[in-house]
Structure 1
Amino acid sequence: MARANVGITGEGISGFLSLSQATEDAPTIIEGDIQGLTPGKHGIHIHVFGDLSMGLTSCAGIFNPFGKNHGAPEDEERMVGDLGNVEVNDAGKCEVHIEDRVVKLIGPHSIIGRSIVVKAGEDDLGRGGHELSMTTGNSGPRISGGVVGIAPSS
């Protein structure tokens, strides 16, 4: 069992995500909550680097080791880092529960040491027709995030 944790931070935003994967062929589970976001949908992505030395810009782009276009988590054509959207309630809080078979904590494309970033707007899942739809989901600027840090296995 591989485990990792992410402390999510941003201006007025905080949260904690725990990740687990039983075997390399099993799905990765991402669970937790985030507070301080504006109500509505926000894109959430895994980015290439866990480098926060210059804020969220130093995380580089969405993790895409297979050179795919941006898409929805359930799409065949999607980047590894495409986690879709989180839904934030009127109190500014969202509960996160993602089960994903493409995201890995185990193996050569592990996301441990990378980052999870929340965007200001809704991810159009590559279907919006905007010039950024196929690369970022046109989900706006990066507003919060954190490094995927390895955690003790159980």
Structure 2
Amino acid sequence: MKAIAIAAAIPFVMLGGCATQGASGPSSLPPAPAARADLAAGDGAARGTATVTEAADGLHVRVSASGLTPGIHAVHVHTIGDCTAPAFTSAGGHWNPTGKQHGRDNPQGMHMGDMPNMTVAGDGAGLLEYVIPGGLLATGAMPLLDADGAAVVVHAGPDDNVSDPAGNAGGRVACGVLKVG
């Protein structure tokens, strides 16, 4: 009788071992490198969040904004991780490690930090999702998060997608420093 009970228990012990192995064993992938920024206005009021996640095809950027003026706003990744209010000029220019001209429609190329415009609804909320092709977060020859970091900036107006160096997008109305984790 004991032999039958032990034989019946063996499959359950084996299944338990398999379930544990699958959850933490060699088949588990590490999380993708990611950074996050809390966006704020010049007066410190919260204006949403931005996340940047590294993937095989580049950097996936997601900006979820709130409390903005309805309309079209330029959104760019800037070269310096510093959002000193109220003008946020401390964030520097657009991330441009390849030395291109500004603008998604510029025939001479575009900055890696140039992204499409974001439409903000009547309630002040906007969402932008974009992939920066070939971008790397913190590794490689031209990482976004180099020694002085990076920031996501929302501008007062739309980007014309051609004018160098900044697309005539107007002042900087929200900014957030990207931080890993």
TM > 0.5: yes
Question: In the alignment, which of 58, 61, 68 is matched to residue 27 of structure 1?
Answer: 58
Q: Which residue of 1 aligns with 2:10?
A: none
Matched, 1:18 2:54: no
Distance 1:60 1:49 in 2: 6
Work out the CA distance in 2 between the residues paired with 1:84 and 1:75. Answer: 16
Q: Which residue of 1 aligns with 2:150?
A: 114
Between stretches 89-98 and 104-113, larger displacement belongs to 104-113
Counterpart code for 1:149: K
Partner of 2:92: 60
What RMSD, in angstroms, separates the aligned Cα atoms of the two structures? Answer: 2.1
Name the residue aligned to 1:41: 72
State the shift of 1:49 in Å.
0.6
Cα contact 2:60–2:131 (8 A) shared by 1:
yes
Structure whose residues are more often helix by fraction: 2
User: Cα distance 1:36–1:53, how it changes in 2: closer, same or farther (>3 A)?
Assistant: closer
Contact 2:50 2:152 in 1 (8 A): no
Count of residues paired in the alignment: 143
- Deviations 1:31-83 (CA, angstroms, capped at 9, x unpaired): 24100111111011111111234651111111112221111189770011111
Q: Structure 1 residues 138, 95: closer, same or farther in 2, change over 3 A?
A: same
Secondary structure of the structure 2 residue equivalent to 1:65: coil
User: Which protein shows a greater Rg?
Assistant: 2
Q: Partners in 1 of 2:33 and 2:105 — Cα distance?
A: 21
TM-score normalised to structure 2 length:
0.71
Is the contact between residue 38 and residue 46 of structure 2 (CA under 8 Å) also seen in structure 1? no
User: Residue 123 of structure 1 corresponds to which residue in structure 2?
Assistant: 159
Partner of 2:127: 95
Alpha-carbon distance between aligned partners in 2 of 1:32 and 1:58, rounded to the nearest angstrom: 20
Q: Deviations over 1:70-112 (max 9, x none)?
A: 1118977001111121111111101221122143214232222
- Please list every run of 5 or more consecutive structure 2 residues that lacks an aligned counterpart in the other structure: 1-31
Instruction: Determine which structure has greater relative contact order: mean sequence separation of CA pairs < 8 Å that are 6+ residues apart, divided by chain length.
Output: 1
Q: Which blocks of at least 5 consecutive residues in structure 1 are unaligned? A: 127-132
Letter in 2 for 1:146: G
Q: Structure 1 residues 121, 53: closer, same or farther in 2, change over 3 A?
A: closer
